[in-house]
Amino acid sequence: MKPQRLSKGDTVGVVSPSWYGGEAFDHRIECGVAHLRGLGFNVKIAPHALNCAGHVSDTPENRAADLHAMFADPEVRAIIATIGGDHSCHLLPLLDWDLIRANPKIFMGFSDNTVLNVAIWTQTGLITFNGPTLMTDWAEYPKMPEYSERYALRALCEVKPLGVIEPSEWWTEEYLDWKKKEDLTRPRRRQRSEGWSWLGSGRAQGVLIGGCLESMQHLRGTPYWPEWEEGILFLETSEEKPAPTKVDSILMDYENMGMLGQIRGLLFARPYGYSAEERRQLREVIMERTQRYDFPIVTDMDFGHTSPIFTLPVGCRASINIEDRRFAIVEAAVS
């Protein structure tokens, strides 16, 4: 099931399914909203989205009510999360899947929003979008990175496949303190990209499923865990920076679950906060854990917690060709 495309003049709803940091972060909301409005969209912020209750934005009931309200609102065409966190899992037993299924709309977020991206897709069949949250790339100073904006708008607004995804020429993970508003003083320092790493062999086509590695852990053993038989698994790591040894143990779990024997390909984002040596170790871990299988693998890709990022539609078909160094999303994500 595909949501209708987003067009200029449409309304974008804003929710905080997990965390929101309170007044210190309001300028990020203002920048993200201003950018969306500059692109020609209207913006509607859910009633509880800008609340702050410690490690979450509000009660699970209020966060779920905001999500329900945005899906039910006939004016809202797309829903974007403010940011991630670690507690979108609170919402799962409260969500009205029939309401979401009856009102298919764009839902976009990454990091902890992985929980909702995957659960919405498994429970309703609705394609969701692993892409920038309002407070990250949409709110970047002095403007949203062109790479992130281009792929987000193509995914949400064009009724055609995204096609071949090209690596970004640069990336950044520099931390400028939002609480001190350092992020409003200058752009983050950029690093030249060395491109993606094309590992394994062959080619494959399958359905994109995945998101943040740590957030995927919330879904294991639940009714929201996907079927993997035609899956292209994509994974990224958060600013919590799980060590390569931790990633190794999770991938071993996937092997013991039989999951690696089912997927058709693996995409891994550039890890946030890793040294060059740690990135090398991560590639070694990935190759060791997948050596029994013959699917293609691409690592150091531009999605996840470094910036800029391209948007991955959960539930859409994609293809990987190692020989040609080609990754493409071959199915339109919207109707």
170-329 under CATH 2.40.50.140, yes or no: no
- 153 neighbors 139 (Cβ within 8 angstroms): no
The reported pLDDT for the residue numbered 2 is 98
How confident is the model over 187-191, as a mean pLDDT?
98
Residue 235: pLDDT band with limits 50, 70, 90: very high
**DSSP label of 169:** S
- Judged against a pLDDT cut of 90, whether residue 218 lies above it is answered with yes
Average pLDDT, the chain: 97
Q: 22: how many CB neighbours lie within 10 A of its CB?
A: 14
The reported pLDDT for the residue numbered 201 is 85
The reported pLDDT for the residue numbered 213 is 98
How is domain 11-161 classified at the CATH fold level? Rossmann fold (3.40.50)
Domains of the chain: which residue ranges?
A: 11-161, 170-329
- Judged against a pLDDT cut of 90, whether residue 219 lies above it is answered with yes
Common-topology check for domains 11-161 and 170-329: no
Q: 283: how many CB neighbours lie within 10 A of its CB?
A: 17
Three-class DSSP category at 36 = helix
| 180 φ/ψ angles, rounded to the nearest 5 degrees | -90, 0
- Judged against a pLDDT cut of 90, whether residue 183 lies above it is answered with yes
Amino acid present at 259: M
Farthest CA pair distance, the chain: 51
Q: Quote the CA–CA distance of 188 and 69 in Å, as a whole number.
A: 36
Q: Checking DSSP bridges between strand 191-192 and strand 170-171, what pairing results, if any?
A: antiparallel
User: What is the strand order of the sheet 76-81 is part of?
Assistant: 42-45, 11-15, 76-81, 106-109, 128-130, 312-314
The reported pLDDT for the residue numbered 153 is 98
Whether the model clears a pTM of 0.85, i.e. scores above it, the answer is yes
- Chain position carrying tokens 């292209």: 232
CA distances (Å), origin 304, targets 24, 110, 130, 134, 270: 24, 7, 9, 14, 7
- Chain position carrying tokens 């539609």: 313
Segments of the chain assigned E as strands: 11-15, 42-45, 76-81, 106-109, 128-130, 163-164, 170-171, 191-192, 197-199, 203-212, 231-236, 265-269, 297-301, 312-314, 317-321, 326-329
- Judged against a pLDDT cut of 90, whether residue 259 lies above it is answered with yes
- Judged against a pLDDT cut of 90, whether residue 24 lies above it is answered with yes
First-residue to last-residue Cα distance in the chain:
9
Q: Quote the CA–CA distance of 92 and 100 in Å, as a whole number.
A: 13
Q: Quote the CA–CA distance of 129 and 120 in Å, as a whole number.
A: 11
